[in-house]
Amino acid sequence: MRTKAGAFRKEDYKEYNEFAINLITKYLERRGFTVPSKAEDYGIDILAYKDGKEYRIEAEVKRSYYSHFTFEETYPYKTVSFLGRKKRLANKGKFWYFVVCQDTEYCVICDSDTIYNEKYKLMVDVDNDKRFGRDEFYRVPREL
């Protein structure tokens, strides 16, 4: 069933969120972060800690037909597209947004202070098998 652009799709969330959270958690733990289990609250996905500092992390999966990359130089677009509806998470402070390639398990990472700058905001007409209507995106140059 198609939903209005910008609306939360619980079925997509269930399908991809756990995969992304597990992948990012392993990545962070390998780099010395502590990542405690967190109950689902449909807010920020991961709280990670290192050197006495808390890091808030949001996870998103890009399916293979959107992009296939293994590092910044192979990311197939000049900009990275971030969902406008996630901007609400920045109300509680800065967070790190990880975009995970489903096929390669590599990530593109950017902080919310950089992403949610009005100069990157773009309204896009969406019409695909899952969504329709106008949606808000932030398209950030991939080198940032």
**Predicted confidence (pLDDT) per residue in 36-47, tens digit:** 999 888 899 999
Q: Which domain holds residue 59?
A: 3-141
Overall number of domains in the chain: 1
Q: Give 47-91 as a DSSP string.
A: EEEETTEEEEEEEEEEPTTT---SSGGG-SSSEEEEEGGGGGGGG
Which ranges of the chain have pLDDT less than 50? 65
Q: What is the CATH number of the domain that holds 24?
A: 3.40.1350.10
Contact 97, 135 (CB under 8 A): no
98-116 pLDDT, tens per residue?
998 888 888 889 999 999 9
Nearest to 138 by CA among 57, 83, 89: 83
